[in-house]
Structure 1
Amino acid sequence: MVLLNRHPEHRQPLASADAVSLGVAGATEAEGFLGLRENHAETPQHSLPALAAELGIGALHVKDEGQRLGLGSFKALGGSYAVIRLVLEEAAKRLGRTVDVTELNEPGVRAIAAGMTFVCATDGNHGRSVAQGAGLVGARSVVFVHAGVSGERVAAIARFGAEMVRVDGGYDHSVRQAAEVAVARGWTVVSDTSWPGYERIPGLVMQGYTVIVREALRHLPKPPTHVFLQAGVGGFAAAIAGHLAIVLGEARPMVTVVEPARAACIFATAEAGRPVKIAHDRPTVMAMLECHEPSPVAWRVLARVGDAFMTVEEDDAVAVMNRLARPQGGDPAIVSGESGGAGLAGLIRAAASPDTRAALGLDEGSRVLIINTEGATDPGRYAELVGMVPDDVLLQTAES
């Protein structure tokens, strides 16, 4: 299903708070923080001309976040960035002066960080980022995970020193429980979703994601005409689309937000014209996108800069994983996790429908940017769905 944005705020300027968090200055600050990380490297960006020709478009580029900061997903940019910012702000408050990011390892700053506890709820990737950020600064982290998070993903978070808390129910329930416990114990919630009265920290998380756009635009021969962005609560899609709107203005690309049909809370919100919570029905293979209530901040952005909303099926996501693992026509092989290729799944589905192509303005001149938001964050599940282990997939590109 495809729904064009009919919201009255569509194509209006971003709210002032969102323009600040997603603007050039904020992205520059986030990139500056990132440059100080020991394992920082820009993630690869691939051109897939064979698949572009098959889809009847001019160019297809895939920004591969599966190798970001050793965490395997774009989430590495958000939670850890917010944790570091919050530690610096607390240190500045207590020391009575500005504290620079280069001072994070100073004894006085680390002593302050050691007294801080950061808490979050996660499907897997955001929790890794928060736990890693807390570990970098010497703070404590507590991560709430719901029943659907695999043991392999839980273990991957725990390796960063986080205390893990299992809760019944789904992602939205874990978010509420994490927030309740944090309030009771004086901990700091670092969430990638927002709620009334809690917007600034999710804004910082989204600000971290703008680094992806800056890197992508630096290496594209021309700005994209279209982007397809996957969504859970919507923070990633809003961050990318919002920054593109700010830096490209009227030349910004057509933004299509893609969700699993089984967890399409942004689609339902676009239909209703306001944030709505959808019922939890069947789980989706796109586990990192299995969210049933949108982030209000994300929707505030997407109402303005999201141009279309669509859903994809379970088989679409698995087919993309396999297509990227076994490319044709000389295209590079890419490891894409269950949720990572949802944007590409949306493009493939859209390109196959003459009506959808016309609605989105897709043609042989279109330049499409896709972001592979995760690699094999659960290698066992990846091998089960693809029939290859991730290292063997990457070996194809290394040998070509």
Structure 2
Amino acid sequence: MFIVNPKASRQPYPPSLQSVMSIAQANESRQWLSRWSGLNAGATPLYSLPDLAEELGVARILVKDESVRSQLGSFKALGAPIALVRLILRTFPEQQFHPHGLLEGKYADALADFTVISATDGNHGKGLAAAAQSIGCQCVIVLHANVSVEREQAIAAYGARIVRITGNYDESVEHAASLATANDWIVVSDTSYEGYEVIPRDVMQGYGTIAAEIIEATTGNSATPAFTHVFLQGGVGGLAAGIASYLWEQYGEQRPTFVMVEPRQADCLYQSALLGKPAKATGSVDSVMAGLACGETSPLAWRFLESSVDFFMTIEDDEAVAAMRRLAAGSARDIPLVAGESSVAGLAGLARLVKETGVAAEMGIDANARVLFISTEGATAPGVYAELLGESDASVLGRQKAWLPGV
């Protein structure tokens, strides 16, 4: 499915949105994270895939590889830690904690009884658990029925207490909220709801680091981006809002075209575009793209997406697996990449569109198009990855090492 967003705007970034999320705040978050041991040093790679671009009939394809952001294996390492740091600074202003000191665990004794909780499909919970372990506070993670045991174990490895429920992701969000109320804990969620926007804003603001690195690796302070189209994966909309808001503020009226891609059965953002307001998915939500298997749009994220995303579309699970397989294969000129099932929606969406020439033409996807997408995770569940591809992530990384010059 594919629709044009009639509300998309190419005006300068609105002050009403800048007061909520801005480049300045994103850069502050980035500076705070720069010394956290939970992140690998430096920017994540931005690869050009010329053979894939030729296959799909576009001028250039750029992929930002977030699988190597940290041992956590995904972009979520940027959101939850910043949200937790900002939460603690607001909660204990009299303590005058320093952000770097928090992430270095210098105030662990003072925070030993402070507890945060969140529902997750995997990556956000792992990011929050890792940050809580570094800081020295307590963390409780609520998992729904479709989160694999492999992902549960990865979260528990960071010292989080795990609570399992039998429902879906949205029900796990509700359960986390009820536990927080009953125990006087604080929810650190990446999705917003009525009366709960500050923490999700901080999570989204952390993702601005990705946009900042992309700009630095391409055009620097140029007023024109190096890419014409950005394909973003859905979920509740947090990542997309964090990236789109930063690039919109940076490039203003010259911003790239944004395309939102979701699983067909978890189409809450697509439905939001149809209805003109935050909406629920119409399908079962369950998808191989576990990180995107979300049933309700984040209202806060929608405030940014409703006027920045130009097109919304959905894809099938098998298209995501095909995209994973293509990235893993590499080619003579394309580096083999480990891209998890939730990271490839953008590429899968592009591959679908180029087969529909009329739609592609309407979107400006042609031989002059320069496309960016963000591979948001690696094999965060190695067993699932190997089952889907018939090849382990270690095998792909072995071919990647052989492909890299001088290694």
Instruction: Answer yes or no: same fold by TM over 0.5.
Output: yes
Displacement of 1:181: 1.2
Contact 1:147 1:169 in 2 (8 A): yes
Taking only aligned residues, the RMSD between alpha carbons, in angstroms, comes to: 1.7
Instruction: Please give the alpha-carbon distance, in whole angstroms, between the structure 1 residues aligned to 2:159 and 2:212.
Output: 31
* Displacement after TM superposition at 1:273 (Å): 0.9
Q: 1:151-166 maps to which residues of 2 (within 5 A)?
A: 151-166=149-164
Give the TM-score of the pair, scaled to structure 1.
0.95
Which whole-Å CA distance do the structure 1 matches of 2:113 and 2:10 have between them?
44
Amino acid at match of 1:156: A
Hey, what's the Cα distance between the residues in 2 that align with 1:212 and 1:197?
28
1:263 matched residue in structure 2: 266
CA distance change for structure 1 residues 115 and 13 in 2, over 3 Å: closer, same or farther?
farther
Note if 1:226 corresponds to 2:229.
yes
The question of whether the paired residues in 1 share the 8 Å contact of 2:337 and 2:396 is answered with: yes
Q: Decide which structure has greater helix share.
A: 1
* 8 Å contact from structure 1 (residues 21, 207) kept in 2: no
Q: What amino acid sits opposite 2:215 in the alignment?
A: L
Q: Secondary structure at the match of 1:51?
A: helix
Q: Offset of 1:302 from its aligned partner?
A: 0.4
Q: 1:113, 1:349 → 2: CA distance?
A: 49
Shift of 1:14: 5.7
Q: Aligned partner of 2:388: which letter?
A: L
1:350 and 2:353 correspond = yes
1:22 aligns with 2:21: yes
* 1:155-187 deviation per Cα after TM superposition (whole angstroms, max 9, x unaligned): 000000000000121000000110111122111
Alpha-carbon distance between aligned partners in 2 of 1:174 and 1:105, rounded to the nearest angstrom? 27
Aligned in 2, Cα 1:17/1:35: closer, same or farther, shift over 3 Å?
Answer: farther
Structure 1, unaligned runs of 5 or more: none
* Cα distance in 2 between the residues matched to 1:165 and 1:54: 45
Shift of 1:293: 0.6
Structure 1 residues 218 and 107: alpha-carbon distance in aligned structure 2, compared to 1, 3 A threshold: closer
1:374-385 aligned at under 5 Å gives the runs 374-385=377-388
| Partner Cα distance (1:105, 1:75) in 2 | 16
Aligned pairs (5 A) from 1:121-200? 121-200=119-198
CA distance in 2, matches of 1:304, 1:225: 17
Question: TM-score when scaled to structure 2?
Answer: 0.93
Distance 2:327 2:106 in 1: 48
Indicate whether 1:45 and 2:35 are aligned. no
Map residues 1-400 of structure 1 onto 2, 5 A cutoff.
1-7=1-7, 10-11=9-10, 16=15, 18-38=17-37, 39-41=39-41, 42-91=43-92, 93-95=93-95, 98-104=96-102, 109-220=107-218, 223-281=226-284, 283-400=286-403
- Could you tell me which runs of 5 or more consecutive residues in structure 2 were left unpaired when the two chains were aligned: 220-224
* Shift in alpha-carbon separation, 1:282–1:244, aligned structure 2, 3 A: closer
Change (3 A) 1:281 1:107: closer
- The number of aligned residues is 396
CA-CA distance at 1:15 after TM superposition: 6.2
Change (3 A) 1:245 1:140: same
After superposition, the Cα gap between the structure-2 partners of 1:114 and 1:329, relative to the gap in structure 1 and judged at 3 Å, is: same
Superposed displacement of residue 217, structure 1: 1.2
- 1:109 offset after TM fit, Å? 3.2
Aligned partner of 1:312: which letter? I
CA-to-partner distance for each residue in 1:113-150, whole Å, 9 max, x for gaps? 22211100000000001101111110000000000000
User: Distance in 2 between the 1:118 and 1:66 partners?
Assistant: 26
In 2, Cα distance between equivalents of 1:108 and 1:397: 39
SS of the equivalent of 1:22 reads coil
Letter in 1 for 2:363: L
Question: Which SS does the other structure have where 1:305 is aligned?
Answer: coil
Q: Which whole-Å deviations, capped at 9, do the CAs of 1:197-216 have from their partners, x for residues lacking one?
A: 10010000000001000011
In the TM superposition, structure 1's runs of 4+ consecutive aligned residues that sit over 6 Å from their partners are 105-108
Please give the per-residue CA displacement for 1:260-304, whole angstroms capped at 9, x wherever unaligned: 011111001101111122345262111110011100011111001
Preserved CA contact (<8 Å) 1:34 1:40: no
Gap change, CA 1:346 and 1:106, over 3 Å in 2: closer
Structure 2: distance between partners of 1:330 and 1:181 = 51
The percent identity for this pair of structures is 45
